[in-house]
Amino acid sequence: MRQGHGSANRRLGAPILMMAMALFATPAWALEKVRVGVGGSSSDAPLYLAKELGFFNEEGLDVDIINLDSGAKIMAPLGTGELDVGAGALSVGFYNILGRGVKLKIVADRGHTDTSTQYQTVFIRKDLVDSGRYKALKDLKGLRMGYAAAGVTSLSLMNEASKAAGIAFEDTTPVYMPFPNMVAAMQNKALDGAFLIEPQETVIERLGIGARMQNTNDFYPNQQISVIFYSEKFAVEKKDTALGFMKGWLRGVRAMSDSIEGGRISPKAEKTLEILTHNLEMPPDILRSIYMNAVNASGEISRGSVEKDLAFFRAQGWVTDAIDLDKVIDLSFAREANRQLGPYVAKSK
């Protein structure tokens, strides 16, 4: 009888043990999935840091970063709610999507020009510099200038450069091609220059094809190069999740800022270099050499720049629908996240 009783206990004990093991193996709460579309550039650095350093996990989020090759490919799935968050540049395409009734929100800074970094410069083919054909902004007249696509903010930047130089916007010829193609185009002299960003600047400079002539911040201070977008659905229906994402993003921005020295990744920031080498798929020597773009640690954007670029697009007839920026720009998530995180205090380097 004792033996039978013991066998019964063992039979009952096995499923109870399995249930207990399953209970302890199951997390107390599941991470909420957030889908983020990126165009694939060094401006995504804070996003990867926030993910790899666990900042998003600490907000209860499982962030899936989806590389869509270009900012233009982000807008449609962001508008339908297939993506929750987007990271990219403002453009004519963005405003025209808004004009068709698609609701998107500009919620935080992702990159702007600044005196502290040479992330975006007037970049001119080296033989034109060596020959003296190009010395200053006024010498842009007659040049073929490269742009990533029609309707990008670099065209507004050209307008500001023209004003500073005393020439007309129409005095240069726009040539549209992806940034990577500009390497070959400058090499075969099909392109004279561009307002280049990293890492293309460093790559072309190393090849001896071109030269950085001037920080674009000199004639267009604090230009808003790119932003963080939220889909309407994410911003309205998942406010707590959207706030959690913003807290993670801003912590990533702060971690990135702490890793920068003289506009570049500090030699001491080994963990940052390791994370970005893997996620951005750039060699460490290139990452050490490139200038990183400035990002506001509080999330605030340069509204004046957004208004200036939109006004230029309107003047060109590229945007014809009424756009109410008060309904498009929503910094409430960034401001609340910044309030909860407290003011950013840079670490001593």
pLDDT tens digits for 318-347? 999 999 999 999 999 999 999 999 999 888
Task: Check whether 55 has a pLDDT greater than 80.
Answer: yes
pLDDT of res. 39: 83
pTM listed for this prediction: 0.88
Q: 113: buried, middle or exposed (CB in 10 Å: 19+, 13-18, 0-12)?
A: buried
When pLDDT is cut at 50, 70 and 90, the band that residue 301 belongs to is very high
Task: Give the mean pLDDT of 298-318.
Answer: 97
Q: Rounded CA gap, 227 and 213, in Å?
A: 26
Question: All domains of the chain, ordered by start, with CATH?
Answer: 32-113+224-341 (3.40.190.10), 120-218 (3.40.190.10)
Instruction: Check residues 68 and 288 and name the one with the higher pLDDT.
Output: 288
**CB half-sphere exposure, 143, CA atoms < 13 A:** 28
Comparing CA positions, the residue from 202, 164, 180 lying closest to residue 191 is 180
Q: What percent of the chain has pLDDT over 70?
A: 90
